[in-house]
Amino acid sequence: MSDDTGIRVAAPSDAPAVGRLLYRLKRQYGSTTITDEADFVRGAMSSVLEAIASTSNVVLVAEFSEEVVAFVDFSIRIAPRAGGRIGALEEIYVEGGWRRRGLGSALWSAGRDALRAKGVLEIEVITSMAHPGQRQFFATATKLEWYAAVHRERL
């Protein structure tokens, strides 16, 4: 899946870079209390590696000049109500200086293609009402159909 966009399937060696980008995403939205990036990356490393290795995830990175500057992670599950596999966007993040260059849209498109190749029939995305930039991106970069609210309980 590598081409002139710099987008490719993530490898285990990308895990530290994906962890750093994940930390920046979570700090941007205030969804982590960890203030040290290195501590966060160490703590996230096993789950990042597991996602990269899992056949139930699609993790792609955008790399330029040997630097990972963006990533997307989708999970895949079986949903009988949908008649098969559903993909769920877990995270998408583009480093600040690389935004507004079409990388997010390119990652989304490449992720859709990868999910389709794995037999996924539909993609679900949960966005936060607190972060209108998420909805703006998805309204312009995708063909999502808004139909429901999501409620969740942390266990």
pLDDT tens-digit profile, the chain (155 residues): 444 569 999 999 999 999 999 999 888 888 889 999 999 999 999 999 999 999 999 999 999 989 999 999 999 999 998 889 999 989 999 998 998 888 988 999 999 999 999 999 988 887 665 555 666 666 666 666 555 566 555 56
For the entire predicted model, the pTM comes to: 0.84
For the structural domain made of 7-141, what CATH number should be given? Answer: 3.40.630.30
Q: Is 91 within 8 Å of 73 (Cβ atoms)?
A: yes
Residue 37: CA count within 13 A, CB half-sphere: 12
Q: Taking phi first (over 0 means left), then psi (-120 to 50 degrees means alpha), and beta for anything else, what does residue 50 get?
A: alpha
Q: Taking phi first (over 0 means left), then psi (-120 to 50 degrees means alpha), and beta for anything else, what does residue 66 get?
A: left
Query: What ranges do the domains of the chain cover?
Result: 7-141
